[in-house]
Each structure stands twice: as structure tokens, then as C-alpha cells.
Amino acid sequence: MVTSRRRIEQYRDADFAPLIPGETARIKQLYADGVVRQIWHREDGLGTCFVLEAADLASARAIVDDLPISRAGLAEFTVLALRPYGGFSR
């Protein structure tokens, strides 16, 4: 799972605007490829939360690091490794 937070204390909407089309296109491609499974905008408008499929934490980090807004350093991305919930099988 990945959460992002725009660095609004350092950057303005005008800094993000040129990167949004590329970011959107990349996320759409990752979704079409089955890498991004679900995505939400944060209610506070400061970023997103999304679930992605990756072999391991390093692979997930590499996917996130390649996003245009991440490469530009305009947002913080937190990548959390998850494991299946086992409570239903007990």
C-alpha cells in the first residue's frame, strides 16, 4: 500500500500542474497492467492512497520512485508492505 502527500509547504499548484498529465497516464498504465489495483484521492486533497502488486518492497519502491511527481520530489511517498489477513481461514 502506498500513501502520498504533496509537499505543499514547498511547492504550489503551478509546480504540480505540468506533471499531472504524465502522472495520470502512468497510473492508468499501471492500472491497465494490473500493478495498481485500487487508488483513492485523500479527502484533504493532499495526495493519494493506492494498492499495488509487486514481488517485494524494493520492487514496489522502484515503481513509486518512477512516478513523475515522485521523480520531481514534489510529494512524499510511504510504501507499506502488506501480507494477507489470516483471520478468515481460521
The string of pLDDT tens digits covering residues 12-69 is 999 999 999 999 999 999 999 999 999 999 999 999 999 999 999 999 999 999 999 9
Paired with 79 in beta bridges are 2
pTM, full prediction: 0.88
Cβ neighbours, 10 Å, residue 42? 13
The amino acid at residue 65 is: D
Mean per-residue pLDDT, 80-89: 89
pLDDT of 86 higher than 90: no
Task: Read off the pLDDT band of 89 (50, 70, 90).
Answer: confident
Residue-range domain boundaries for the chain: 2-42+56-82
Report yes or no: 30 and 52 within 8 Å, Cβ to Cβ: yes
pLDDT of residue 26: 98
